[in-house]
Amino acid sequence: MISTGTTIIEAAKFVKAQGARSIHVGCIHGVFSMGLQQFSGILDDLVCTDTIPTEVSKITVADLISKAIKEVVN
């Protein structure tokens, strides 16, 4: 989960200082309470699931949740 984004930003800055040429981040649950603009210029790519719809929600979990519900109900 990315809530405020401060941990990801600090981690990205650290690995860039170590020589990383690009930073690609993925998460399951993107809250982004401080907005997405804070990642601009720090991350090369940010992708998350659609548990909370945002402009970076590129992976759907609908089928996974649907299957889990069916297993519980049946």
pLDDT tens readout for residues 2-20: 999 999 999 999 999 999 9
Cα–Cα–Cα angle for 29, 35, 37, rounded to 5 degrees: 115
Total residue length of the chain: 74
Q: What is the pTM of this model?
A: 0.82
- Per-residue pLDDT band for 74 (boundaries 50, 70, 90) equals confident
Instruction: Express each pLDDT in 32-43 by its tens digit.
Output: 999 999 999 999
